[in-house]
Structure 1
Amino acid sequence: MFNFSTCPIEHPAEDGQGMSIENLLKTPVFIISILLMICAGASELSMAQWASAFAESALDLSKAMGDIAGPCLFAVTMGISRSLYGKYGDRLDLIKFMIGSGMLCLICYLVASLSDIPMLGLAGCIICGFSVGIMWPGTISICSGKMPSGGTAMFALLAMAGDLGGAIGPGIVGNISQSAGDDIRKGVLAGCIFPLVLVILTFVISKNVNKNRQE
């Protein structure tokens, strides 16, 4: 309570001076950021919500142990990722960190879905938590940095896009798993599309940033 009450709050835009929703939707970098948020939410929640079922089916663990070995350790590694970036973020390039995290996330999805070794597949689920930790806050930071006058509407739409991805991603994984005879590995394999698209879009933003620096 003391920290929150004494922490200075930076207002990115004065009241009434933020960009309108119409203007936001006409800005290419904001559209890319929306897509990034959808992929970030989908990458995070697709694995988080299915990690328990994966642990139970792959390792024949009980429901309680599956929750501990799956989403619990996923959350621990995600917290570690965000804590490390919070501590050393000023020394790191956020966009490069995002690209590296997206690639690691893609590898984790591939390992979890394709590995015949149950413990290796579970490790992929757990480490995936570390890879997705920066995606959501990182996307918001990149967008707000490039659009300082975005205002409240910008943050609201970005949050909505993240929630949308968090709803769509697990649904796609679940439907594909069901269509494949309840084979969760195939559903997780389909989830590779989310971190893959995120990496591609982050590269696009990276090129845009480098171009602006040269100009």
Structure 2
Amino acid sequence: MSQWASAFAESALNVSKTVGDLAGPCGFAVCMGISRMLYGKFGEKVDLSIFMIASGILCLCCYLLAALASISVMGLIGCAVCGFSVGIMWPGSISISSKVIPRGGTAMFALLALAGDLGGSVGPAIIGNVSQIAGDNLQAGVLAGIGFPIGLVVCVLAIRNRITGNE
């Protein structure tokens, strides 16, 4: 979503590319920072897997808002709030992986980094290609991206069941 925030800002606020490049990603980044700050402050009181599941559901809602909003500013708000929803996903993935595979070591972190890089390139490519196929309709591309938060929620639920022994 962060790669598309500037385009949403340009269309929502009807501003120049320069202003859109600043406004969209900045809203996303500020919300992501707030999420990480709140988890840093209150994280010991919250179950990480529950927080990640809730974040994945919020992320799905943000994708739907950005994709389906008929008012451009609402799409931009969806992009920004999506930053809040994804703030815990990367550090949470590392923490959960360390718990599930305590002897994973360097190889595990290398694979996590590879998976993160792969997701950071494949996701925007899929959204961009779908947008292009849909006649340069960015909202159609973002709608195609809803599979990512759904996949996250399903994976965290599966790992949570494994951790708690509810297989």
Instruction: Decide whether the 8 Å contact of 2:35 with 2:84 is kept in 1.
Output: yes
Superposition deviation, residue 207 in structure 1: 1.3
Shift of 1:102: 0.2
% identity of equivalent residues = 63
Q: Name 1:180's counterpart in structure 2.
A: 134
Shift of 1:120: 1.2
Matched, 1:49 2:3: yes
Deviations 1:27-71 (A, max 9, x none): xxxxxxxxxxxxxxxxxxxx1011101221333221122123211
Greater C-alpha radius of gyration: 1
How many residues in Structure 1 have an aligned counterpart in Structure 2?
Answer: 167
Q: What CA distance in whole angstroms lies between the structure 2 residues aligned with 1:54 and 1:119?
A: 8
Contact 2:8 2:72 in 1 (8 A): no
CA shift, 1:77, in A, is: 0.6
Q: Which runs of 4+ in 1 moved over 4 A?
A: none
Q: Which amino acid in 2 is paired with 1:84?
A: L
User: Which structure carries more relative contact order (alpha carbon 8 Å, separation 6+)?
Assistant: 1
Give the gaps of 5 or more residues in structure 1: 1-46
Check the 8 A contact 2:11/2:72 in 1, yes or no: no
Aligned equivalents of 1:120, 1:167: Cα separation in 2: 26
TM value normalised by structure 1? 0.75
Q: Which residue of 1 aligns with 2:20?
A: 66
- Structure 2 CA distance for aligned equivalents of residues 126 and 69 of structure 1: 10
Partner of 2:73: 119
**Residue 171 (1) aligns with residue 141 (2):** no
Compute the TM-score of the two structures, normalised by the length of structure 2.
Answer: 0.96
In the alignment, what sits opposite 2:58? 104
1:145 maps to which residue? 99
The aligned runs of 1:69-88 (5 Å cut-off) are 69-88=23-42
Relative to structure 2, which stretch is displaced further, 112-121 or 99-108? 112-121
Q: Secondary structure at the match of 1:149?
A: coil
SS for the counterpart of 2:110 is: helix
